[in-house]
Amino acid sequence: MFVPAVAARLAAQVAPRPFRTIDQVDPNVFIGGFLAASDPGEVRRRGITRIVKMFSDDTKYPGGYHRHPGVTYAVFPALDTPEYDIRGDAVEALRFIKEGVDANERVLVHCHAGISRSSTVVLLYLMIYQGLSLDEALERLTRIRPVVAPNKGFMRHLRATDVSLRRLRQGS
């Protein structure tokens, strides 16, 4: 007999570390994967009150997606493919994150593994709101979460944003 809650707990025990952890990027922004975001104890312990979920397909995981009471969600059906244009989702996700940070709320950004989609959004957050270049943001985020690896298409968008931000900051 298949018991979803038991299957989810077993998956969490055998999953690689990045899938099971929430890493703190700054005082109010966190990054993680599906399993960590579904852990009510971890979300509560971190004081997270907003969650950005960068996928919509919950069928891959036994037990489905756990929503926490008292947490506000923003869900974006982003695909982790180089062809997917993440820019529209990222703009809305950044708005949601900034709103939370401005209200001194703690925001978790996650996708399935906390490697590509969520890292793209967090890198954009660091670039736009903390004034870092793409290289600086990547260095900082990979120090915190070594598995960070936006796919090739997302990296193209990040590089283009980096160039645009540099031009804006230089006044040209």
Residues annotated as catalytic are 111
Residue 36 CA to residue 163 CA, distance in Å, equals: 33
What letter does residue 2 receive in the DSSP assignment? Answer: -
25 sits in which H/E element: strand 22-26
Give the number of other CB atoms < 10 A from CB of residue 60. Answer: 9
Q: What is the DSSP letter of 107?
A: E
Among 50, 21, 51, 23, smallest CA distance to 36 is for: 21
At 32, the amino acid letter reads G
